[in-house]
Amino acid sequence: MASEKPIYKDESKDIEERVEDLLGRLTFEEKCKLCAGEGNNSPPAIERLDIPLFGMTDGPHGVSPYRSGVGPSGVKIPEDSEGASTYFPTGIQMASTWNPDLIEDFGAALAEETRAVGRSMQLGPAMNICRNPMNGRTFEYYSEDPLLSGKMGAAAVRGLQSKRIAPCVKHFVANNFESNRFKVNAVIDEQTLREIYLKGFEIVVKESDPWGVMSSYNKINGTYVSEHKRILREILKEEWGFSGMVVSDWGATKHTSGIKGLIEAGLDVEMGSRFMYNIDEMKRMKEAGEFPEEYFDDNIRRFLRTMLRVGNFDDPDSLPEGRINTEDHQLLSRKMAEEGMILLKNDNSLLPLNINKIKKIAIFGKHADIKFGRKKLGGGSSAVFPPYEITVREGLTNKCKGKIEIVEDAEEADVCIVCVGLEHSHDFKGGDHEGSDRLRYDLGILQPRLVNSVVKKNSNTIVVCINGSPFGMEKFADNVPAILEAWYGGMEIGNVVADILFGNVNPSGKLPVSWPKSKSDIHTALSLWDTIIPIKEVVYEEGIFIGYRYYDSKNVNPRFCFGYGLSYTDFEYSNLIVSATELHERGKLNISCMIKNTGEMDGAEIIQLYISDKNAGIKRPKKELKGFKKVFLKAGEEKKVEFELTSGDIAYFDINANDWLAREGSYDILVGASSRDIKFRNNFSYKM
C-alpha cells in the first residue's frame, strides 16, 4: 500500500498548513542549510525531504545567460551559446511607457523565461529611486518619483507571480549610488526615508504582495540594511504585512555584526554564499542558549512559503509552462520599446520622415552599430544574451531597402541621423554599469563634435540617444531640430527607432526622471573624489526635494522636465470635473477630464495628476505626482479620464507622531501633460 502523501506535498491543502508541516519536519541543521546560498545562486537541496534546489537568476530585464551553464554575468559568452533569452528594454525605459498593464505583461513573459531555465526566483524588479542620474545603475531603475516607481514595480510583480515565479524586489533600500556600495552609510532623515525611498517599495508590498525582497549593500543611518531590524522586520514585515522572504544582495552580509543580528533583523536567506550563517557556529549558539530560535523559525517559514508559492513541491504538469525567446516575447520587447522611446525635440515638424519623399539618408555615430546585449553584456548583473539584436543601422537599412539610398556624405543626404549616448563601461569616462558611477555628466568631446560637424553640413539632422540615464547635451542640443531618446531599447531597438522616425509608430513615452541641463544642476551628484576614493558616508541633505521636487522648489529649469514627451499628434484637454469641494478623512474625491486627439495620427497621451499642499507650517514640494493614465486615441477620438483621491494621497510622514498624517486645509489639483505643462488647476479643502 502506498504511503500517504505528506501534507506539504498535498496541493489541495492550504499553503500555511503545508508550510507548518514542512517546518516541523526539518531538523535544526537542515534549517541552517536552507538559510544561505551554496554555489552562488541558490540555497541547497535537502534530499531527505525531497526539497529541491531553489534556483535564482539575475534580471531584471531578461534572464541572465545561465541556460548553457555559462556562469555569472560579465563572463565572456561565445557567439554560438545556447543561453539565449529575450532582451527586453531596461527599467528606465519600462517606466517611460507609463503603462503598468504593459509591464505586467512583461513580468509574465519574464516568468516564463525564468522557469524555462529551471529557476524559481527572478532577481527583480529593480526600483531604487533615481536620486542622481550619474548613478551607474540608473538604467535598471524606474523613476525619481516613488509613485511611478511603485506602480511599475507592482505591475512587474503581478506579472511574475501570475506565472508562479517569485520576484525579488530590489535593492531595499537607498542603493542610490555604486561608489563604495558595500560599505557606504546613507544618512537619511525619517520623513525623507518614508516619503521618497521607502514609499515605492511600500506600494509594491501593499498592491502586489511580493514573494521576495532583496536587502541592499549599504548602511542606513549607521546600520547595514541586512541587519537593520527597524527596516526589515518592523517596517517591511510587521507594519506593511510583507509575507515573503528577504534575500541579501550577493555578499552584503560580509561586513555585518554576525548571526544574531541578521536573524533578529529578519534576513531570511543569505546570498550568494554562506558568509555569516555558519552552520557550526549556529549549532554552538543553540547549545549555549544564545540562538534566537523564534525569529529563526519565522525566517525559515518565509522561505518555505516562497518555495510552495512557486510550486517546488507540486506536480510539474500543474505549473505554468516555461518558454524562452518566443516570438510573442520578442514582439512584447518591441512593443515596450515603442511605448518607451521619447521624442524630446521636433522643431519645424522634421519628424516623422516621409519615406516616399526622401531619396538619401546618412547615418553617423558608433552607437548606431553597438549591440548592447551581446557585445556589452548589459552593464553587470542585468546582462542578457539575446539570440539577435537589431542595431539602429540595421533597422534603418531594413526600413530603407529599395526605397532610400544610405550614403556616407552628410551634404549629399536629405536627412542625417547621428546616434550618440552612453555605454555599459567601467572606464574613466564612466557609463551605465553596476559597480561604478559616472565621473562626468556630458558626452566628452568627440560625440558632440560629431553632431555639430554633421548639422553644420546638413540642417536636417536627427540625434538618436542610446543610453540608460540623462547626460549633458549643452554642446549640441540647441543646434539640432530633432532628438529621439531610444534608451537601451532591447533586442528590437533598431526596428523601433526606424518605425518611429518614419512615422509607423507614434512616440508616446514620457520622461520618468528630470533631465538636468548640466552637472552643476545636479544637487545630489557625488564629487570626483567621492567616486575615485571610496566614500564612507552620504548625507541626503536635500531631504524630500529630489528630481522635479527640487527643480520646482529652486525655480530651476531642467533641459527636459519630469513627465515630458512629444507626439506626432495633438491632444486637447477639456472639462475638468472635481466631485466635491471638500475631502473628508474616510471619503474620496473623483476627478475627471476629457482628452481628445485633435491631430491626424493615432497616438497615446499620458495624463498626469499632481497635488499641491497649500498649507503653511512645514516645507512641502510645490507639487507631487498622485496619479497617471495612459490613454490611446485614434485621430479625432475623445475619451474620459478618471482619477480618485483619498486622504492617503495628501498625507505626509510626521516625524513627531511617527505616522502618516493629512493636514486640514487647502490643496490644489493640477492636471497636465508633464510636471511643467499643467492644463487645469482646481482646489479642494480637507477636513477631518
Q: How many residues does the chain have?
A: 688
What residues pair up with 465 in beta bridges, in sequence order?
420, 485
Residues 6+ apart with CB under 8 A from 509: 93, 96, 97, 98, 339, 340, 341, 342, 343, 485, 565
Question: CA–CA separation, 174 vs 184, rounded Å?
Answer: 11
CA-CA distance, 548 to 95, in Å (whole number)?
Answer: 16
Residue 368 DSSP one-character state:
G
Cis geometry, peptide bond prior to residue 63 (ω within 30 degrees of 0):
no
- DSSP per position, 260-289: HHHHHHT--BB-SS-SS--HHHHHHHHHTT
Instruction: Please name the residue that has the C-alpha cell 498624517.
Output: 661
**Crossing angle of helices 100-116 and 327-340, rounded to 10°:** 150
Supply 603's cell numbers.
Answer: 497616438
In the sheet with 678-687, reading across from the earlier edge strand, the strands are 582-584, 678-687, 665-672, 603-613, 624-633
Name the catalytic one among 249, 437, 552, 649. Answer: 249
| 361-371 as b/e: b if 16+ CB within 10 A | bbbbbebbebb
Please list, residue by residue across 494-517, b when 16 or more beta carbons sit within 10 angstroms of its beta carbon and e when fewer do.
bbbbbbbbbeebbbbbbbbbbbbb
Amino acid making up residue 315: D
Whether residue 249 lies in the annotated active site: yes
Task: Take residue 146 and report the three cell numbers written for it.
Answer: 516613488
Residue 629, all three cell numbers: 493614465
Among candidates 455, 462, 486, 508, which has minimal Cα distance to 345?
Answer: 462
Q: Element (H or E) spanning 151, and its range?
A: helix 146-162
List % helix, strand, coil for the chain (3-state, nearest 5): 30, 20, 50
What are the start-end ranges of the E strands in 155-220? 166-167, 169-172, 185-187, 212-215, 219-220
Q: Give the separation between CA 266 and CA 537, rounded to whole angstroms.
A: 24
CA distance 535 to 542: 18
User: What is the enclosing helix (H) or strand (E) of 640?
Assistant: strand 638-646
Round to whole Å and give the CA distance between 462 and 451.
9
CA distance 120 to 42: 10
User: Sheet containing 537-539: which strands, arranged edge to edge?
Assistant: 223-224, 219-220, 185-187, 537-539
Rounded distance, CA 553 to CA 191, Å?
17
Report how far residue 80's alpha carbon sits from residue 490's, in angstroms, rounded to the nearest whole number. Answer: 19
Q: Strand pairing partners for 399?
A: none
Cell of 68: 548553457
DSSP symbol at 352: S
Q: Under a CB-based contact definition with an 8 Å cutoff, are residues 548 and 324 in contact?
A: no
- Supply the residues annotated as catalytic: 249
